[in-house]
Structure 1
Amino acid sequence: MDVIRLLGIRDSALSVGEVLSAVGDHAAGGTALFIGTVRDQDHGRAVVGLSYSAHPSAESELRRVAEKIAADFPATALAAVHRVGDLRLGDIAVIVAVATPHRGEAFAASRRLIDGIKSEIPIWKNQLFADGSAEWVGACD
């Protein structure tokens, strides 16, 4: 069975339940979950919303990053989904989960997965501030 159970770049709301269900595995002793949400400030500036855009290659790049994590860690299951489009405060922007035989491996693998998504996937964030200004960010937070 493939360790990579769920991957996606979506323009609709993300589901924590769907991601957790995807990585459920009786061989796993630990499952680490990370949920990234839209916060109300960045560097002391009030954020009122944001928009994510993705390059057409984003999903294949997401698979490449996930395959690297699956090869480097004893994962029994892995999932990652990222949202694109307009998001409001509190909306879920990204969810990653990794199941492994032991908790330490799960934490380390999920950290590498989210960090890989932030640094290697062509997804851009346009933050909208309360003062009416906006800022493009080259990787997702």
Structure 2
Amino acid sequence: MATIRVQEDVFDPQAEQVALTAGRADIGGVAAFTGLCRADDGLAALVLEHYPGMTERALAEIAAEAERRWPLTGCTVIHRVGRILPGEPIVLVMTASAHRQAALESCAFLIDWLKTRAPFWKREEFPDGTGRWVEARAEDDAAAERWRSP
């Protein structure tokens, strides 16, 4: 069963890996992706909004799909909400399996599907007080499409 968290607080990827693998001799590989807030176009902050309850359910469903597709021995998905500053982590996806290929593929699947199927709304804030909503990107949709079930 995957660990799913939606939180405002910054997380520590190394501590999360220790928690995922502690006492587990059946894990042969861990794959991880940590998404960070970039300072594109002079960005001051990124604000992520969500619907509590609905978001956690969606993340759990996406993680469950990864667990159906690959022989995972562990899975962690952490996504931040609220105001996030450049350089801070936004999302962590970590998968563990007896073999590297399952860990690597499932990690890529999870981040691709999270980008397109998780109910988050992003607003960029700039130093002058202006802001704009972030639109969905065609590249993210194309990345997620490669995992579509036949």
Task: Please give the range of the TM-score, normalised by the shorter of the 2 chains.
Answer: 0.7 to 0.9
Q: Distance in 2 between matches of 1:26 and 1:135?
A: 47
Q: Which stretch of structure 1 is more off in the superposition, 81-90 or 45-54?
A: 45-54
Tell me the TM-score normalized by structure 2: 0.82
Percent identical across equivalent pairs? 29
Report the equivalent of 2:99: 102
Greater share of strand: 1
Normalised by the length of structure 1, the TM-score is 0.87
**Structure 2, unpaired ranges of 5+:** 141-150
User: 1 or 2, which has the higher helix percentage?
Assistant: 2
Match of 1:82 in 2: 79
Taking the aligned partners of 2:116 and 2:124, their CA distance within structure 1 comes to: 18
Change (3 A) 1:104 1:23: same
- 2:44 paired residue number: 48
Contact 1:53/1:85 (8 A) holds in 2? yes
Shift of 1:133: 3.0
Residue identity opposite 2:51 in structure 1: H
How far apart are the structure 1 equivalents of 2:81 and 2:57?
15
Equivalent residue number for residue 125 of structure 1:
122
Aligned to 2:31: 32
Structure 1 pair 78–129 and aligned structure 2 pair: CA distance change class (3 A): same
Structure 1, unaligned runs of 5 or more: none
Give the superposed CA RMSD.
Answer: 1.9
Runs of 4+ in 1 over 6 A off after TM superposition: none
